[in-house]
Amino acid sequence: MRLSVHSRGGVALAGVSVLVLAGGAVGCGAEKKDGGERTVQQVLTAAYEKTAEAKSANVEMTMSMPAAMEGGGDVSMTGVMGWDPTVMDVTVKGSMLATEPDAPEQIRMIWRDNVMYADMGAAAAKDMDGKRWMKLDLGAAAESAGAEAGGAMLSGMENMNQNPVEQLALLLESPNLKHVGEEKVDGETAQHYKGTLTVKEVLESNDSLDVLEPKEREQLLKNVEKSGVKGYDTEVWVNDDDMPVRMDVGMDTPQGNIDMSMKLSDYGAKAEVEVPSAGDTFDLFEMIKNLGEIADDEGALDGGNLDEELAQLEALESGSGV
């Protein structure tokens, strides 16, 4: 395979940018259903249970990050995803992908069995001997990183899937959950609900952080709060069948607002995906590992080993009269 360090690094950066896609008490307000009145908590609990049972849906998601933030920009994602088990086949496009001059305008992403594949386009195929699919084995990466760091890495990657069940569970944790009113979502009548959580409340309710020690969780909380993020606004629109048709998450940062909006439809849609063949893929983590080994080798040549080898060569030349 003929591939320069620069080219491989560019492909890796483009892939990492994809990963950016890559987070109570009953409030006032209620809704009548079947002649009875339900609390907000009861409505959203029903939505949580029915969404968990559906296991998959078609999705349209948009996300925007401030330009002042590293990796900032806009991105959209359309396709099908499942959350029991985690599976995804989507197309991603937007300014967030423009990390390199040859970065593709859109990327198809496939996720199955804790392995993600991203179609990096013709430019990648040219550099990678015809292999255009980048492979990210999240399970293997988590295992090589160690139990604690690996567990946090894997759970963080899984959060990319924007599991609507987890988002509903998070909303149910809000101490100020409320019914906003009736609205239309793509022509469909839906009830709008909203809740807010502080950073501390989000971290306390995030089971994926259980791999962290108490001190590590405390440090994480301090780091997030230090970044200027105060909390999260979570909203959901539920139709007459108790299914969420739209979910929004927003947060304020010193650099600006981060907003994610996801529309869901066709619950129970087929979410079985075919992964590319091994001959069409290149492994991102193996590539990064190889780049590290190359850097180590170059560092060794630039250091004491090189001086020692030059001294030995000079001694040989002196003895032979060259």
Residue from 54, 111, 120 nearest 79 by CA: 111
**Which amino acid makes up residue 43?**
V
Q: What is the C-alpha separation between 241 and 244, in angstroms, rounded?
A: 9
Two tokens, residue 304: 């004491």
Domains, the chain, with CATH or none: 5-23+26-301 (2.50.20.20)
| Strand partners for 38 | 31
CB 37 within 8 A of CB 59: no
What sign does the dihedral 136-137-142-146 (CA atoms) show? Answer: negative
| Residue 211 pLDDT greater than 60, yes or no | no
pLDDT digits (tens, 9 = 90+) for 246-270: 999 998 888 888 899 999 999 998 8
| R_g (Cα) of the chain, nearest Å | 24
Q: Phi then psi for 28, rounded to 5 degrees?
A: -75, 160
Confidence (pLDDT) at 39: 92
Q: What is the C-alpha separation between 274 and 10, in angstroms, rounded?
A: 27
Q: What is the C-alpha separation between 81 and 274, in angstroms, rounded?
A: 13
| Residue 235 pLDDT greater than 90, yes or no | yes
Query: Cα 241–246–249 angle (5° rounding)?
Result: 135
| Residue 10 pLDDT greater than 60, yes or no | no
pTM score over 0.85: no
pLDDT class of 48 with cuts at 50, 70, 90? very high
| Residue 113 pLDDT greater than 60, yes or no | yes
Two tokens, residue 188: 């469909």
pLDDT class of 305 with cuts at 50, 70, 90? low
Query: Cα 92–110–141 angle (5° rounding)?
Result: 110
pLDDT digits (tens, 9 = 90+) for 309-319: 445 444 444 44
HEC sequence for the chain: CCCCHHHHHHHHHHHHHHHCCCCCCCCCCEEEECCEEEEHHHHHHHHHHHHHHHCEEEEEEEEEECCCCCCCEEEEEEEEEEECCEEEEEEEECHHHCCCCCCCCEEEEEEECCEEEEECHHHHHHHCCCCCEEEEEHHHHHHHHCHHHHHHHHHHHHHHHCCHHHHHHHHHCCCCCEEEEEEEECCEEEEEEEEEEEHHHHHHHCHHHHHCCHHHHHHHHHHHHHCCCCEEEEEEEECCCCCEEEEEEEEEECCEEEEEEEEEECCCCCCCCCCCCHHHEEEHHHHHHHHHHHHHHHHHHHCHHHHHHHHHHHHHHHHHCC
Confidence (pLDDT) at 51: 95
- 41 versus 215: the higher-pLDDT residue is 41
Q: What is the C-alpha separation between 146 and 262, in angstroms, rounded?
A: 33
| Strand partners for 64 | 74, 259
Q: What is the C-alpha separation between 27 and 85, in angstroms, rounded?
A: 32
Q: What is the C-alpha separation between 63 and 183, in angstroms, rounded?
A: 22
Per the prediction, the chain carries an average pLDDT of 75
| Strand partners for 59 | 79, 264
Q: What is the C-alpha separation between 249 and 94, in angstroms, rounded?
A: 19
Confidence (pLDDT) at 25: 29
pLDDT digits (tens, 9 = 90+) for 182-207: 999 999 999 999 998 887 777 776 65
Query: Poorest-confidence range of 40-44, 90-94, 252-256?
Result: 252-256
